């Protein structure tokens, strides 16, 4: 058995090898956390992996916690580093902290998780049914995000699997368009699908080539992965790993198929395209921007945020957002002037403007062209309710 200091080191090591399932099978940490569970070596590594991901959520301080508090930052570090699989510098850049501070906060987060796991010990509940566990995992992931950069996900998974691909002498050809449309499913869910598929191909292809192509069709992104030479033992639709990938995609209106024709063997993934509901948020307060992100992103909106009113109009012209959310009290150019620019220029006049302000100027804002006025401090329910009404109006206009 080990003491608590050794236990923290084991937890740190397990996170370091979180996506190396072979290494996780032999982790001493599993002896402590999964004691009594009848598991095959493969199931042991898989269960430890998911347990380490699940416990990260126990660091979450909840929605009422101040943004950028120590508790919030430690939770975000673990999510960005191990769920999103960003490298330390990328995490530090996203949180606007130094690399030294990242390592300090990361160590504290590992210690906090180790304390949770140490107290839990072997009291892990019985393993749920595979389907039940999968649906629970998908629901948790889907709640946190609803869109993904497909090329970024592919490149990230290929980087993680590089050693396995190199050992199998598998060559990668990315014959993808320079700009792939955004997929309407969460980055982490898509990443799990790609890890499962490419991990299988890496282990069953020798001296071969995986060629990636993509195009849009019928409101979906059709991603094709050609396999040369063809797999000698192609998967069957009732294989457990293939069914799991199909279930994950179907949960998000997607699908996967294995086809064979004169062009050879290929996997086809049909991914839903992201919705058009981008919200441009303009507020000079960084904490408010983070709050908008927290309110909107889990509810299917893409947030485009800026602290500078001077750049907002150009962003609106380029992106053509579903709506714009403006603060009134901002330095240099205030929200009144920005509102007038929005409603008076042809390329932005059709974009509904939501004013969120501490100033009690509802009648004036509506008279000057705002579609909605919301009082600060703003609640999630008030914001989502206002955007739902605007969304209905936009959908009605599109149908006409």
Whether residues 189 and 105 fall in one domain: no
Domain around 110: 4-127
User: Same domain for 235 and 288?
Assistant: no
Q: In the prediction, which pLDDT does 78 show?
A: 93
Q: Do 244 and 293 reside in the same domain of the chain?
A: no
How high is the pLDDT of residue 127? 41
Q: Are residues 15 and 115 in the same domain?
A: yes
171 found inside a domain: yes
- Ranges 217-221, 236-240, 375-379: which has the least confidence: 217-221
Residues 182 and 84 occupy one common structural domain: no
The last residue of one of the domains, among 224, 244, 272, is 272
Residues listed for the chain:
400
274 has pLDDT over 80? no
Does residue 145 form part of some domain? no
Same domain, 95 and 68: yes
Domain boundary among the residues 65, 95, 127 is at 127
Residues 96 and 158 in one domain: no
Please count the structural domains in the chain. 3
397's tokens: 């206009």
> Residue 178 is part of a domain; what is its CATH number?
3.30.565.10
Rounded Cα gap, residues 48 and 28, in angstroms: 11
Q: What is the pTM of this model?
A: 0.46
C-alpha span between 301 and 321 (Å, rounded): 11
Confidence band, pLDDT 50/70/90 cuts, at residue 133: very low
Beta bridge pairs of residue 372: 354
Q: Are residues 266 and 285 in the same domain?
A: no
Position 329 in a domain: yes
Note the pLDDT of residue 308: 84
Question: Is residue 23 within 8 Å of 17, Cβ to Cβ?
Answer: yes
Handedness of CA 76, 66, 11, 24 (dihedral sign): negative
The residue with tokens 């205030």 is 334
Mean pLDDT, to the nearest integer, of 61-88? 83
**Residues 90, 114 within the same domain:** yes
CATH assignment at residue 356:
3.40.50.2300
Residue 139 lies in a domain: no
pLDDT digits (tens, 9 = 90+) for 225-264: 999 988 878 888 778 788 888 888 887 788 999 988 776 7
Residue 323: the pLDDT is: 92
Residue 365 counted as domain residue: yes
- Going by C-alpha positions, the residue among 324, 358, 322, 360 that lies closest to residue 340 is 324
Q: Give residue-wise pLDDT tens across range 312-342.
A: 888 888 778 889 999 998 877 788 999 999 9
**41 and 101 belong to one structural domain:** yes
Which of 250, 272, 294 marks a domain boundary?
272
- Predicted confidence at residue 352, as pLDDT, reads 94
Q: What does DSSP say about strands 220-228 and 209-217: parallel, antiparallel, or unpaired?
A: antiparallel
Q: Quick check: 327 and 335 in contact, CB under 8 A? A: yes
User: What sign for the dihedral angle of Cα 246, 248, 249, 253?
Assistant: positive
Identify whether residues 109 and 202 lie together within a single domain.
no
Whether 86 is covered by a domain: the verdict is: yes
Give the whole-angstrom CA distance, residue 196 versus residue 207.
20
Whether the predicted pLDDT of 367 surpasses 90: yes
Top mean pLDDT of 77-91, 125-139, 231-245 is at 77-91
138 falls within a domain: no
In a domain, 136, yes or no: no
Q: Residue 143: is its pLDDT beyond 50? A: no
> Do 191 and 259 fall into the same domain?
yes
Q: How do beta strands 220-228 and 353-357 pair?
A: unpaired
């Amino acid at each position: 058995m080990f003491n608590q200091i050794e236990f923290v080191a084991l937890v740190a090591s397990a996170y370091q090898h979180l996506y190396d399932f072979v290494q996780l099978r032999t982790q001493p940490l599993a002896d402590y956390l999964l004691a009594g569970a009848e598991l095959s070596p493969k199931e042991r590594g898989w269960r430890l992996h998911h347990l380490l991901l699940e416990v990260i959520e126990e660091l979450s301080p909840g929605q009422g916690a101040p943004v950028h508090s120590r508790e919030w930052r430690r939770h975000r570090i673990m999510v960005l580093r191990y769920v999103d699989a960003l490298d330390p510098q990328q995490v530090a850049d996203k949180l606007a902290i130094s690399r030294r501070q990242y390592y300090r906060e990361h160590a504290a987060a590992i210690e906090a998780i180790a304390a949770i796991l140490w107290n839990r010990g072997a009291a892990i509940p019985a393993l749920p049914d595979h389907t039940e566990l999968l649906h629970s995992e998908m629901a948790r992931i889907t709640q946190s995000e609803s869109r993904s950069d497909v090329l970024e996900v592919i490149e990230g998974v290929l980087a993680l699997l590089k050693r396995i691909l190199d050992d199998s002498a598998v060559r990668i050809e990315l014959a993808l368009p320079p700009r792939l449309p955004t997929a309407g499913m969460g980055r982490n869910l898509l990443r799990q699908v790609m890890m499962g598929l490419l991990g299988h191909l890496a282990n069953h292809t020798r001296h071969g080539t995986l060629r990636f192509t993509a195009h849009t069709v019928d409101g979906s992104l059709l991603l094709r992965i050609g396999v040369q030479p063809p797999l000698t033992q192609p998967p069957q639709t009732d294989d457990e790993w293939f069914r799991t990938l199909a279930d994950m995609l179907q949960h998000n209106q997607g699908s996967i198929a294995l086809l064979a024709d004169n062009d050879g063997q290929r996997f086809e993934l049909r991914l839903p395209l992201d919705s058009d509901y981008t919200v441009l948020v303009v507020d000079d307060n960084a904490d408010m921007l983070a709050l908008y992100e927290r309110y909107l992103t889990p509810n299917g909106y893409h947030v485009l945020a800026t602290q500078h009113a001077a750049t907002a109009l150009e962003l609106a012209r380029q992106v053509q957002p579903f709506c714009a959310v403006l603060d009134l009290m901002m330095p240099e150019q205030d929200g009144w002037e920005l509102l007038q620019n929005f409603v008076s220029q042809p390329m932005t006049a059709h974009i509904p403007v939501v004013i969120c302000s501490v100033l009690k100027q509802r009648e004036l804002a509506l008279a000057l062209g705002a579609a909605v006025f919301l009082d600060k401090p703003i609640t999630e329910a008030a914001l989502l309710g206002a955007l739902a009404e605007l969304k209905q109006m936009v959908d009605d206009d599109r149908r006409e």
